[in-house]
Amino acid sequence: MSAHVDPRLLEDAPGAARREMLRHLAGCRACRSAVAAHDPSLLFGLLADAPIPSAILDAVSRETARRIAEPVRVSRLPALAAASAALAILCGSVVFRPESAPAPVPAPALAALPRANVEVQSGAPVSQVVDFTVGDTQVVMVYNPELQL
Amino acid sequence: MRDDQDLSELIRTAAQGDRRAFEDLVVLKRERVVRTAFQIVGDMEDARDVAQGVFLRLWRVLQRFDLERRFDTWLYRITVNAAIDFIRDRGPKGLLQPLPEDASEHLASGAPGADELLDRARLQKTFLRLAAALAPKQRAVFVLKEIDGLDTDEVARVLEISESTVRNHLHQARRILREAIRREHPEWS
């Protein structure tokens, strides 16, 4: 039987020395009591070789083997996400367009808008001034048949 | 027992996509992975799930492993990170359910020098219950250092923290556990 364990040495013992102390501790009640009195948390070192149920180990092997044997599936997630985003934008623009478009200006309001007075002061003969104003956008065309480009 | 050369060959073959070699590697390392995961997550079924995740990840990244480095350190890192992520997602948990029957029986009857006061099954249950009070990193340091028996420098490499941080986490973990044992189990000392 190895020498009794000094609890203060067990605290900082490295690798092999520590394993030797724990082996002794597992079989020596007096040393366990001494360690418990010094720092009972050191007794948890005795859990180092706690057995793991074979059913758990077999399940790990079995499930791992099954999963790595599965054919690699190419993820379609990015393509689906892009398609969903495009669809959402399209639907959103259709659904929300009526709300986001500017409200039509009532006819009386249009009539009340100030209109620019177009007057051509270049030399004669200016034949025509044509007003294409639509709604609140004023468009005026000045037409001169003598102008040569 | 495989020597380092055999292990390197097994890793190299598995990294090339040889499923049989990888399954041999799983058999070789599964007990250590499950045990470490179990002590951190505190539940055998959860530990099994963590271990399966660890080996699936290992299968995907094994080709990146540098054979000049220590495989066990790398595997510990993957395991501890997976276990910490698991308990962060799930939240802390004491021993809410008993150990599986065969584990409890094995622990109780097979423990050398077991006595009424400190048989290993009770020791295990006590650890799982009290360790729920530790922060994930504190718990990981305690498990790696005190239960798995790694040296301070290796714990630091596994967790990618400084040795002084390891010592600090260990000091805090020991203090929390020591106070809890003395409060809840005065008969121990």
- What domains can you pick out in chain B, each with its CATH number? 1-93 (1.10.1740.10)
The string of DSSP letters for B62-91 reads: GGG--TTS-HHHHHHHHHHHHHHHHHHHH-
Residue A71 in contact with partner chain B when CB distance is under 8 A: no
Which tens digits make up the pLDDT trace of A77-125?
666 677 777 776 766 665 655 555 556 655 555 556 666 666 666 555 5
Alpha helices in B91-162 (DSSP H): 101-110, 120-131, 136-142, 152-159
pLDDT score for A13: 87
Q: Answer yes or no: do B127 and A44 touch at CB < 8 A.
A: yes
pLDDT-based confidence at residue A59 (cuts at 50, 70, 90): very high
Question: Is residue B99 predicted with pLDDT exceeding 80?
Answer: no
Task: Compute the average pLDDT of residues B87-109.
Answer: 54
Q: In this predicted model, which residue has the larger pLDDT, A3 or B52?
A: B52
pLDDT-based confidence at residue B95 (cuts at 50, 70, 90): very low
Pick the residue from chain B with its C-alpha nearest to A56.
B48
Q: Which of B163, B132, B33, B39 is CA-nearest to residue A12?
A: B163
Q: In this predicted model, which residue has the larger pLDDT, B34 or A98?
A: B34
How does strand A140-143 pair with strand A128-131?
Answer: antiparallel
pLDDT score for B93: 59
Which tens digits make up the pLDDT trace of A18-50?
989 999 998 888 899 899 999 999 999 999 888
pLDDT-based confidence at residue B185 (cuts at 50, 70, 90): confident
Question: Is residue B29 predicted with pLDDT exceeding 80?
Answer: yes
Cα separation of B117 and B119, whole Å?
Answer: 6
Q: Which residues of B151-183 are buried (b: 16+ CB within 10 A; e: fewer)?
A: bbebbbbbbeeeeeebbebbebbbebbbebbee
Cα separation of B13 and B95, whole Å?
Answer: 40
Average pLDDT, chain B: 86
Taking contacts as CB-CB distances below 8 angstroms, the residues of chain A near B185 are 40
pLDDT-based confidence at residue B101 (cuts at 50, 70, 90): very low
Residue B124: count of CB within 10 angstroms of its CB: 23
Residue type, position A28, single letter: C
This prediction has a pTM of: 0.69
- From B27, B59, B151, residue closest to A14, measured CB to CB: B151
Question: Is residue B117 predicted with pLDDT exceeding 60?
Answer: no
Cα separation of A59 and B77, whole Å?
Answer: 22
Which tens digits make up the pLDDT trace of B139-163?
999 999 999 999 999 999 999 999 9
Taking contacts as CB-CB distances below 8 angstroms, the residues of chain A near B39 are 47
